[in-house]
Amino acid sequence: MKERGAVVTGAGSGMGRSIALSLAAAGMNVVIADIDDESAQRVRDEVRALGVESIAVPADVAKLEQVEALAETAYSEFGDIAVLVNNAGVTWRPYRAAWDASIEDFRWILSINYWGAYHGHHAFVRRMRETETPKHIVNVSSVVALQASPGHSAYAAAKGAIDSLSSGALAEFETAGLPIGVTVLYPGYVKTDIGTSERLRPAHQRSASRAVISWDTYGQQGGLSGAENKAVVTDHRDVTSWHQAIDPSLVGPLVVDGIVKNRRFVLTHPFENPLADKAVGLANAYVPAS
């Protein structure tokens, strides 16, 4: 990995910053891409302090032309980009049912969490195919793509799409004989500022209330009605291991290990029972017509 180039989107804070610093610690030159240019520049300076090269590039991943410009800058600066991390993401607050969300809410979530990642594939993979050196793409999904998470429907939809994009792209790379690996990162509760990401929306599209409240509180405040619905809310309050908050600094080393070992999946938290339950459900889902 030494002295090769990496690009990390949403790298100005949180998990993106942690991943960028870990790649730098592994000897890679890193492009810090973020919609917040000041944050990107601060992380760029942290990366340079580790003895590698780094540049900061302001980029809104929801806009294809900005991601294509990011790719052009990255390749011009570092020549060969070995690692692409599609990390940039947003979510809404407060949690809300799909029927309380607007079309604009869904479009905003999908434009960054899904289309942002696809824009990365579109802009970088064509260039990655031009050389025979090994490459790797990391797409950031979420545990909400693996387990139902009420109040998070648009985010979960986007992350589920990330899963399918990743598996499809990997199969294409393998059948074409391309040395490009793909890792999907499934973060649980990581202490980042994603809960305040509506600050990045145009003012006229922001939620009237951006308070960070739980799904349970949302129900109690009238977002749901009827005893049956409130019981559903209570059912999702069980604290499981993926709810235990971890510091973002723990995520970067996990991602670098996943890249080095070419892991298809990386989890930030133990996550066994929901996956087992889903597998059992799928295994028993087919019932031949009588």
Q: Which residues are tagged catalytic?
A: 155
Contacts for 226 with CB less than 8 Å, ≥ 6 apart: none
Q: What secondary structure letter does DSSP report for 68?
A: H
Whether the ω angle into residue 150 lies within 30 degrees of 0, i.e. cis, is no
Q: What is the largest CA-CA distance in the chain?
A: 68
C-alpha 148: how far from its chain's center?
Answer: 17
The dihedral formed by the CA atoms of 139, 89, 115 and 124, expressed in degrees to the nearest 10: -50
* Closest C-alpha among 89, 170, 185, 175 to residue 135: 170
**Burial profile 52-67: b = 16 or more Cβ within 10 angstroms, e = fewer:** bbbbbbbbbbbbeebb
